[in-house]
Structure 1
Amino acid sequence: MNETIGYVMAFILAATPFFEMVAVIPLGVISGLDTIPVTIVAFVGNLITVIIVILMMTQIKAWLQRRREAKGKEGSTKRENRAKQIWQRYGLFGLALIGPILIGSHLAVIMAMSFGGTKKKMTVYMTSSLLLWAIVTAVGTHLGVEFFMFDRN
């Protein structure tokens, strides 16, 4: 039962914006969950919310615009500027690839679609990017845990 709660928590945390699966996978493995199942659960949790953001982008853009107008803000935030620099330098694919690590996958989707990315391309690129980062994180975490847990007697 405890293990099930761990996997549910990994899913929920990975699905939470700004608490990415690249943080959840190591936490899950270090807490005793198996690497492959926690990686799959975290990937699916992160991917589901990213797809929801992609599908609801029209509503999100309208909400962000109303929020900015209400606060009277016109300038860009630090994260927005970083995303725009990545976009200008590497395009949609670069933002989808680098975004989950630098600014978060959810914000990367919002930024990329605001800069002109399409729903179809964003879905393909973000799915690929999240899968790549899930594998890299899982392998790195597994090897790191094995290295540090190795009995050196």
Structure 2
Amino acid sequence: MSFIIAYLIVFVLAATPFFEVVAVIPLAALAGLNTWVAVAVGLLGNILTVLLVIALMDKIKSWLAKRQNGKANNKRGERAERIWKKYGLPGLAILGPILVGSHLAAFLSMSFGGNKQSVAAWMIGSLVAWSVAAGILTSFGINLFEFDAERQGFLSDLLKQYQ
């Protein structure tokens, strides 16, 4: 049961803006969770919330307009705009999860003129690619550093303390 809660935490962290699935996957593996289950669960969480941002774009825009009162863009937004101008939607969707965050990349892609279907398709493709890459690199890293499979990570140690 405790590992179900651990995977639920992976889902929630990956779904949280600025806590990208690419960072959650290695943490989950180091915690002793199965890397590929963490990839699937984290990817699902990240994709669902990115699609939610795309679907609720108009409401988010109006809420932000009321909240900001004409304030200038932040550095992440400026970086995303430079990427958009140079590479368009494919560039922002591919580089966004690493450079500005997937949720912000989806939001800004819509703001800069992308349509919902194109933004969703590019973002999903990008998130799948980054998640698989993170899973492969994590697996190689665990093997390279000879992670002790019998210890099962720091999560197992933590759970044993509370049993």
TM superposition score category, shorter chain reference: over 0.9
CA distance in 1, matches of 2:96, 2:88: 11
The aligned amino acid for 1:13 is L
For structure 1, the residue ranges without an aligned partner over 5 or more in a row are: none
The aligned amino acid for 1:44 is L
Measure how far apart 1:150 and its partner are. Answer: 6.1
Residue 127 in 1 paired to residue 149 in 2?
Answer: no
Residue 79 in 1 paired to residue 66 in 2?
Answer: no
Q: Which residue of 2 aligns with 1:61?
A: 61
The aligned amino acid for 1:61 is K
Give the SS at the match of 2:17. Answer: coil
- The within-5 A match list for 1:88-127 is 88-127=85-124
CA distance in 2, matches of 1:4, 1:38: 11
TM-score by length of 2: 0.88
CA distance in 1, matches of 2:141, 2:67: 43
Q: Which residue of 1 aligns with 2:36?
A: 36
TM-score by length of 1: 0.94
Indicate how the Cα distance of structure 1 residues 150 and 27 shifts in structure 2: closer, same or farther if over 3 A, else same: closer
Any idea what the Cα deviations from partners look like across 1:61-95, whole Å, max 9, x if unmatched?
111111111xx51x221111100000011100100
Any idea what the Cα deviations from partners look like across 1:91-128, whole Å, max 9, x if unmatched?
00100000000000000011111000100001100000
Q: Which residue of 1 aligns with 2:145?
A: 148
How many correspondences in the alignment? 148
RMSD: 1.1
The aligned amino acid for 1:6 is A
Measure how far apart 1:6 and its partner are. Answer: 1.1
Measure how far apart 1:16 and its partner are. Answer: 0.5
Measure how far apart 1:35 and its partner are. Answer: 1.1
Which portions of structure 1, spanning 4 or more consecutive aligned residues, are displaced by more than 4 angstroms? none
CA distance in 2, matches of 1:49, 1:38: 17
Identity among equivalent pairs (%): 49
Measure how far apart 1:3 and its partner are. Answer: 1.3
